[in-house]
Amino acid sequence: MFLFAKRMGDHFIARHVVATSQTEHITVERVGGVVSETSFKFFIQFVFYTLIFCVFSLIICATFTAEIIQDTGGANVHLAIGIGLSSLFGLFSFGMTISSLQLAMWNLSTIENLNRRSAVWTLAIRVPDRMLARLNPESRWAPTFRTITYPLPPVPLSPEAARDYQPPEKQHVFAILQTLPGENPFDLGSPFKNLQQVLGYSIIDWFLPLRQSPFDRLGDFLGWIKSNPSDYMGSPIRKKKKKKKKKKKKKKKKKKKKKKKKKKKKKKKKKKKKKKKKKKKKKKKKKKKKKKKKKKKKKKKKKKKKKKKKKKKKKKKKKKKKKKKKKKKKKKKKKKKKKKKKKKKKKKKKKKKKKKKKKKKKKKKKKKKKKKKKKKKKKSIL
């Protein structure tokens, strides 16, 4: 199978042509989902680096536990758990790396590997235009395989009408081939080339997850198609391109229509906005006039109120002044009365004092008289 593909084009093309015959070229294990062409390289790198990490942690834990046993005679529980986990995950990642690398060397997936010794692949390979003359059944180069033209006519035609039928697009002839049981159409001839197709063509790509796998990058493939259109075997991809172009044109037309509609809508909106603005301006003017009138009325009312307040204040002031005057007069009168009372009290006090003095003098005189009388009596007795 691989030889047929290689005769009619590069082996890189053969990989892509064969991949179109499958619904999806699934690769390697299932880890919570399918590991596909886009993630196969990164899966291998991930498993490889997890293996290195597990070995590294196992060595460190083992050395530390050996030192602790020599020094103390006991073991650390955490280090023992670390040894167990690192050895478990290390064995798991070691098995995964070996199986994934083996399948990458064969250029197969786990699903394809199940029946790789008995699988038969059916392939449709486009025959170049320069070799179409050899496919004439009357010539000595009559083919030993079935062929099909693509695209097919829309309605089955009679043999005479089919000869004269010319479709709008150019038709292509495809050779329908079958591989032998156990033959791998994805094998490029050597395990190293198969690994290169998965991991990349440089050492950096092998060890660092910077770029995708070469068989997942269609840029080189499409470039080869542009330079060799006669040897191109993937007419469906061409059609996809045309469809994409048509879709792009349709999208552009739709976008233009949408833009026109948007412009119309914008114009309508602008007109509506202008009308609304005019209405708003008119309303604002009316409101301003009303506000001015209200302000004038308010001012007049305020002036009247102020005048009334002033009058009231004046009256209050007058009343207050009168009250103050009255209070002052009353105070003066009270003061005078108090002064008079004080004077009277003083006079009374003076009079009392005089009376007391007089009484005291009288008492003293009486006492003296009594003493004199007593003395006289004593003398007379003697």
219-277: pLDDT as tens digits:
444 444 444 444 444 444 455 566 777 788 888 888 888 888 888 888 888 888 888 88
200 and 92 together in one domain? yes
CA distance 283 to 306: 34
> pTM for this one?
0.46
189 and 87 together in one domain? yes
210 and 301 together in one domain? no
Of the two residues 1 and 323, the one the predictor is more confident about is 323
Residues spanned by the domain of 225: 2-121+179-233
Q: How high is the pLDDT of residue 227? A: 44
191 and 290 together in one domain? no
291 and 228 together in one domain? no
In the block, which residue shows the tokens 């196992």?
Answer: 58
Q: Is residue 195 part of a domain?
A: yes
89 and 223 together in one domain? yes
Q: Is residue 147 part of a domain?
A: no
214 and 268 together in one domain? no
312 and 371 together in one domain? yes
Q: How high is the pLDDT of residue 11? A: 35
CA distance 187 to 107: 6
Q: Is residue 361 part of a domain?
A: yes
Crossing angle for the helix pair 77-106 and 40-72, to the nearest 10 degrees = 150
Q: Is residue 220 part of a domain?
A: yes
Region 337-366: mean pLDDT is 83
Mean pLDDT for the chain overall: 77
CA distance 203 to 208: 9
Q: How high is the pLDDT of residue 141? A: 55
How many domains, in total, are found in the chain? 2
User: Residue 175's beta-bridge partner residues?
Assistant: 125, 147
110 and 20 together in one domain? yes
Say if residue 3's pLDDT is above 50: no
Q: How high is the pLDDT of residue 83? A: 95
48 and 109 together in one domain? yes
228 and 267 together in one domain? no
The closest of 49, 40, 47 to 103, measured between CA atoms, is 40
User: Residue 146's beta-bridge partner residues?
Assistant: 176
Region 71-90: mean pLDDT is 93
